[in-house]
Homo-oligomer: A and B are copies of this chain.
Amino acid sequence: MFATFLRLALLLALALPVVAATDPKALIEQYHRDHPGKGKFAGHWQPIPIQRYWNPVDFYEPPKTVQGKVGRDQCVACHQGVTPGFVKAWQDSTHAHLGRIRTLPDSDVRAYKKKLLAEVEANLVEQGLLKQGEHLQQVGCIDCHGGVGKDKIRHDKDLRLPDRAVCGTCHVQQFAEAESEKEQTWPQGQWPKGHPSHAVDWKANVETAVWAAMAEREIAQGCDQCHYQQNKCDGCHTRHSFSAAEARQPEACATCHNGVDHNEFENYLLSKHGTVYQTHKQQWNFEAPLKDAIARGGYTAPTCQLCHFEYQGQFSHNLVRKVRWGFNPTPAIAENLDHPWFQKRLDAWVGTCSQCHSPRFGRTWLETADKGILAGLKVEQEAKQVVQKLYDDGLLPGQKTNRPAPPAPAQDAPGGFFQLFWAKGNNPSRVERVYAEMWEHDLIKLYKGLVHANPGGYTYSEGWSPLLRDYTEIMDENTRLRAEAKTRLAFLPDSLRLADTDLRLPLGAALLVGGLVVLGRRK
C-alpha cells in the first residue's frame, strides 16, 4: 500500500519539469535563509582570516587600504597595475565581451549563448536591474563586487565577494538547478535532506564535529577550500574567466574530487573513458554545450560532466538526481537497493550509459559494480565488529591509561571519522586507525573504482586488495591483543590485571616479598 503510494509519488515527481519556473528574488531569499553561517557547532570555533574568502557573506570585510568611492571605470585602470593576472583573465572572458555573443553565427557551437544572454537580460529586467529593451554590454567588476548596474561603490565599505546568489541574479536557471539539490530526500533517511550535495557542502563542512573541534584552524580550513560550493560558484567556473568551457573539462573537478576518500578523477583518467579523453581531446570542442557534446563537440567518450550533469536525457546543474551510494557504502543503502527510489536511479544511470553503450551493457556494468561494492562492504563490516569488540573489551593499547577524549563537539568512538584528523596519546590506537582508513578510504575507493570502471582502481592498486590488507592487519592485531591479554590474565595476580597500569611492578615486587616471608614462616 505504502509502496504503491510511493511509486505514484515518484511517477508524479518524474512528470514535473526538472526545475520549476522560479522567481529570482524568492530564490535568492530562500538561498540566504537556508545558509547555515557558522552552523550548529558555532560555539566551538572561530573563523580565521583566510575563511573570509571561503565564506564571504559571513566573514568578508573590505580592505581598508583603499578609501572612498570608486567608479565603474576605475577598477580595471587601477588593478591592471596591482593585480594584472585577474584583470587579464576577465579581459579575455565572455563577461568582458557580451557583444561578441550577439554576433555569433548560428553555426557556431557557442551560439546557444545568445539565448542564455537574452534570458539573463530578461531576469534582470524582472528584478528591475535592467530597463526593458536595454542590452547588457559587459559584466564589469562592479556588477559582481558592488551590485548589478552600480556606477560607484565605497571600496572600503561596499566591496563584496560574490556568493552563489550574486551569480544567480543573472544566471537564474543555473542557480535554481543547483539549489534544487537541496530537495534530495533519501527514502530510509540514509542521509539528511539535501545531503550529500554541492548545495549543502558548506553546511556539511561546518557541522562535522571534528572539523569544529580541531584546534589547528589553518589545517581545518583546508576542508573549506572544497566545501564552499554552497557559498560560491568559482569552484568550477574559476574567477575571473568564469569559463563554461573550462568547467566542462574533467580537470575542473579534480581539485576536489581526488585523493584518499574520493578518487574520482584518478579513476576517470585511468579508465578507458579517460584514455579516450586524453588521446582525443585536442579534437574535441569544449565550447559546445553538454547536450551537443557528442554531435557537435566531437566527444567520443564521456567527461565527468557528460554523465553527472545528465538526468533522463536533460542536462542541468543538479548533480544528485542519480546518486545511489552517496559518499560511502553503508548497510543502510546496501539493504535497500531494490527499493523503487534506488531502482529508478539505476534506470536513469542505464540511460546515461546508453549515450555510448548498449542499455544491456550499461545495466550489466551497474549491477556488477553494485555486487562488487557489496562484497567489499561485507569484509569491512566483519572488521568493524572485531574493532568494536576490542574496544568493548577494553583491550586496545593504552585504552585504560592513556586515551584522552577528543575535543568537543567530537565524541569518542572506536574507528571514528575524527580519528583521521585528531590524535593524542593512545587515541586512536593503531588498529582503530587502520579500521578508519578501511571504511573511509579502501571501501570508498573500491566503490569509486568500480563505478568509474578503472580496473586497477578496485582490484589491486586501490579497493579490494588494500581493503584486504587492512582486514589482515586488524585480524592480526586482534589475535595478538587477545593473546597478550590472556598472558596477563594467567600470570598476574588478579589485582594486577588492570593490564596496562604502572602499579603492577611495585605491587608484584611487594607480593613476591610477602610470599617469600610467608613461605619462610611456614617452616
Contacts and interface: CB of A to CB of B under 8 A. Distances in A.
A511 B506 CA distance: 11
A261 B359 CA distance: 34
A229 to B, nearest CB: 13
B357 A86 contact: yes
Contacts of A372: 216, 218-219, 222
Contacts of A460: 259-261, 420-421
Given A294-B85, A505-B486, A517 B515 contact: no
B92 A300 contact: yes
Interface in A322-340: none
A369 interface: yes
Given A50-B364, A218-B368, A259 B490 contact: no
Contacts of A221: 368
A468 B422 contact: yes
User: From DSSP, what is the main secondary structure of chain A's interface residues?
Assistant: helix
Interface residues of A, number: 146
Given A222-B458, A375-B218, A516-B517, A278 B251 contact: yes
Contacts of A379: 423
A15 interface: no
B430 A294 contact: no
Q: Most chain-B Cβ atoms within 10 A of its Cβ — which of A493, A505, A523?
A: A505
Interface string A419-433: 111110110111001
Contacts of A85: 294, 299-302, 355-357
Interface string A242-263: 0101100101101110111100
A362 B450 CA distance: 40
B88 A295 contact: yes
A278 B355 CA distance: 26
B371 A218 contact: yes
Contacts of A519: 518
A395 to B, nearest CB: 12
Interface string A473-510: 10111011001001111111100100010111111111
A242 to B, nearest CB: 11
Interface stretch (A98-106, A181-189, A194-202, A268-276): A268-276
A282 interface: yes
Interface string A81-105: 0111110110010000000000000
A217 to B, nearest CB: 8
A393 B261 CA distance: 39
Q: Copies of this chain, how many?
A: 3
A296 to B, nearest CB: 10
A425 B475 contact: yes
B425 A300 contact: no
A343 interface: no
A225 interface: yes
Contacts of A245: 279
B369 A218 contact: yes
Contacts of A496: 486-487, 490
Contacts of A509: 506-507, 510-511
A298 interface: yes
A510 B512 contact: yes
A12 to B, nearest CB: 27
Contacts of A49: 364, 367-368
A453 interface: yes
A459 interface: yes
A216 B446 CA distance: 13
A9 interface: no
A374 B339 CA distance: 50
A63 B219 CA distance: 54
A456 B246 CA distance: 21
A329 to B, nearest CB: 13
Contacts of A437: 469
Contacts of A167: none
A90 to B, nearest CB: 9
Interface of A: 48-50, 52-53, 63, 65, 82-86, 88-89, 92, 216-219, 221-223, 225-226, 238, 241, 243, 245-246, 249, 251-252, 254-256, 258-261, 269-272, 274-276, 278-280, 282, 294-295, 298-302, 354-361, 364-365, 367-369, 371-372, 375-376, 379, 397-398, 401-402, 419-423, 425-426, 428-430, 433, 437, 450, 453-456, 458-461, 463-465, 468-469, 471-473, 475-477, 479-480, 483, 486-493, 496, 500, 502-523
Given A84-B294, A255-B270, 4 more contacts: A219-B372, A225-B453, A258-B270, A419-B472
6 contacts: A85-B302, A223-B459, A252-B275, A260-B465, A433-B472, A507-B509
Question: Closest 5 CB pairs between A and B?
Answer: A85-B356, A259-B461, A520-B521, A222-B459, A225-B455
